[in-house]
Amino acid sequence: MGCSSVEVVIDKKMTEMEVIEELTDGMTIGVGGWGSRRKPMSLIRAIARSNLKDLTIVSYGGPDIGLLCATGKVRKAIYGFVSLDSIPLEPHFRNAKQSGTIETSELDEGAFYLGLLAAAHRMPFYPTRAGLGSDMLEMNPEIKTIESPYKSGDGEKGEELVAIPALNLDVSLIHMNRSDSQGNGQFLGPDLYFDDLFAKAAKRTFMSCEKIVPTEDFLKEGSVHTLKIPRLFVDGVIEAPRGAHFTECPPDYGRDEAFQSEYAASAKDLQSWENFKQKYLETTSHQEYLKVVDSRTQTEENQNG
Amino acid sequence: MADEATIDEICVTAIADGFRGDGEILCNPIGNVPVIAGRLAKATFESAMVMTDTVSVLAANTIPVGDPDAERLVEAWMPYRDLFDIVWSGRRHVVMGASQIDPYGNQNFAAIGDWKKPKAQLLGLRGAPGNLVNHTTSYWIPNHSIRSFVQKVDVVSGPGYDRVSELSDWIQSNHEIRQIVSNLGVLNFSNKEKRMQLVSHHPNVTVEEIISSTGFELLVPDNVKETRKPTEEELKLIREVIDPHDLRKAEFVKK
């Protein structure tokens, strides 16, 4: 059909476990998605099960930050917010913050975007006014202000601006609806969030997806505007159906609110967390995890029936 | 005659009145009661405003709250990245919550206690630092008390007038805290000192009650009015079109 093309022989397919082998202690890891939306949860769970430690997690945070805090993987969290959306406060993150077990860098949401953009453009910083007057600068003493070199009048001082430092990432993890095995990614939902910037801001990016499809099938499901992740920014592709569970991944599936509530409730005390961890995190693979999740739903249905 | 307006509906129209005169900007209230208020203002006296569906598009029609499947007349795509462009353009009026607010409008919803190891971690700074220095902001505080209206906030998420007075002319000319609506009354900063003053008390609330529920000295002019009641048309829109499932009432349940 149509395109008698040059065959692309690149194959970036890999498994969650192979991604873990590429990660090392102390790395700075960016995570795509937004709150409890389209998070690469199969990869996050693989990190939670691993021996990795002292990670810096950079994210518009949701259960990615919460789960990694609860499993002791996080040395520092850099975020615009940490929320589960339908549950506004992420309880596992709150536990970590309130007990002082993690370091944090809390940024204005827009300032966080500029930090990613600066990293993607290999700039040391981008300027903004966000942070002036609030406690953001006191909370982040490493962030400096600069004087604008463009002055409004003769002899006047240039305007003071905040220089948001580049959020340079060792690795980014993102989740797409579709990708091909060469590493091109497609989002089919209402918002890409900042996943393309996470990919561009990182030395290496691993992208999970609901389904790996042949390149020629991309335009069957979405317009050309949905193809925002070109393969030159992607190093590995992991096929993980329902890989964002329990966060939402429209149009493939919505958020599993019942499961999210169970996850949130597990932050209540150590015993609740141990139970949750044993049941859902100590599974050997993403496929095993889904079996446990599904058996839970079936049990509930039987009880309700 | 419709049943008489209840306190939640009086708060809705008070928040809606804050958008008067805004014209063609992004009306961006956050939370059920403010969203109902914004949609009411747009459906009545501020039709030029644009509003999101709280997900990712600007919807031209009046959509009910809490109904993800409601039909949307989409006029533009508004993913989060574009939302920041609107913040920085200044063409936005946001309504946010506040766990604490002080006499100059410094707002905190980040944390209670020392932010390094807080007694209670709340939402974080979120977009407040950028919002306040770029465009108009209002606040909705459903639990007016000496714990929420405090002399000094634990963390400044959104800067108030005293802090902004030390910043650039550009920021000073873009910063505006239009009003604060609480469950007791309406307040603003329309005085030379830019300190919080009482504008109106809601029906069945006394000025004394508001003063004693505020943890600092509130400016109280002689002409404090009663907050207006919604019109018949507004009540019909709130009850039948915008919030048919009474989601607005949840914030008024006594805890």
CA closest to A135 among chain B residues: B156
The 3-class secondary structure across chain A, one letter per residue, is CCCCCCCCCCCCECCHHHHHHHCCCCCEEEECCECCECCCHHHHHHHHHCCCCCEEEEEEECHHHHHHHHCCCEEEEEEEEECCCCCCCCHHHHHHHHHCCCEEEECCHHHHHHHHHHHHCCCCEEEECCCCCCCHHHHCCCCEEEECCCCCCCCCCCCEEEEEECCCEEEEEEEEEEECCCCCEECCCCCCCCHHHHHHHEEEEEEEEEEECCHHHHHHHCCHHHCCECHHHCCEEEECCCCCCCCEECCCECCCHHHHHHHHHCCCCHHHHHHHHHHHHCCCCHHHHHHHHHHHHHHHHHHHC
Tens-place pLDDT, residues B231-253: 999 999 999 999 999 999 999 97
Residues of A whose CB is below 8 A from B124: 79-82, 106
Q: What whole-number distance in Å separates Cα of residue B209 and Cα of residue B104?
A: 21
Q: How far is A252 from chain B (nearest CA, A)?
A: 16
Contacts with B, A 13-52, CB within 8 Å: 34
Q: What whole-number distance in Å separates Cα of residue B225 and Cα of residue B206?
A: 11
Tens-place pLDDT, residues A145-166: 999 999 876 667 899 999 999 9
Superfamily of domain A16-110+167-260: Glutaconate Coenzyme A-transferase (3.40.1080.10)
- B155: pLDDT confidence band, cut at 50, 70 and 90? very high
State whether residue A153 sits within 8 Å of chain B by CB. Answer: no
**Chain pair A-B, CB pairs under 8 angstroms:** 123
Given the candidates 3.40.50.800, 3.40.50.300, 3.40.1080.10, 1.20.1440.230, the CATH classification of the domain at B7-245 is 3.40.1080.10
**What does the pLDDT average to over B107-118?**
95
Q: Which sequence spans correspond to the domains of chain A?
A: 16-110+167-260, 126-165
**What does the pLDDT average to over B178-205?**
98
Backbone angles phi, psi at B166, to 5 degrees: -95, 0
Tens-place pLDDT, residues B40-49: 999 999 999 9
Q: Residue B215, Cβ neighbours under 10 Å: how many? A: 18
Q: How far is B209 from chain A (nearest CA, A)?
A: 31
CB contact under 8 A, B167 and A192: no
State whether residue A128 sits within 8 Å of chain B by CB. Answer: yes
**What does the pLDDT average to over A69-92?**
97
Q: Token digits for A70?
A: 């609860």
CA closest to A128 among chain B residues: B130
Q: What whole-number distance in Å separates Cα of residue B37 and Cα of residue B50?
A: 13
State whether residue B63 sits within 8 Å of chain A by CB. Answer: no
Backbone angles phi, psi at B101, to 5 degrees: -145, 145
CA closest to A84 among chain B residues: B123
Which of the two residues, A305 and B27, has the higher pLDDT score?
Answer: B27
Q: Which sequence spans correspond to the domains of chain B?
A: 7-245
Q: How far is A33 from chain B (nearest CA, A)?
A: 11
Q: What sign results for the dihedral spanned by CA atoms B128, B133, B136, B137?
A: positive
| From A88, A106, A130, residue closest to B133, measured CB to CB | A130
Q: What whole-number distance in Å separates Cα of residue A73 and Cα of residue A53?
A: 5
Among residues B215, B221, B216, B217, the alpha carbon closest in space to that of B200 is found at B221
- ipTM here: 0.95
Tens-place pLDDT, residues A101-120: 999 999 999 999 999 999 99
| From A109, A129, A133, residue closest to B126, measured CB to CB | A109
Q: What is the pLDDT of residue A2?
A: 53
Contacts with B, A 189-228, CB within 8 Å: 190-194
Interface test with A, best of B80, B82, B154 (most A CBs within 10 A): B80
CB contact under 8 A, B159 and A132: yes
Residues of B whose CB is below 8 A from A83: 123
Interface test with A, best of B83, B101, B107, B121 (most A CBs within 10 A): B121
Q: What whole-number distance in Å separates Cα of residue B144 and Cα of residue B159?
A: 20
| From B81, B156, B168, residue closest to A134, measured CB to CB | B156
Q: What is the pLDDT of residue B91?
A: 98
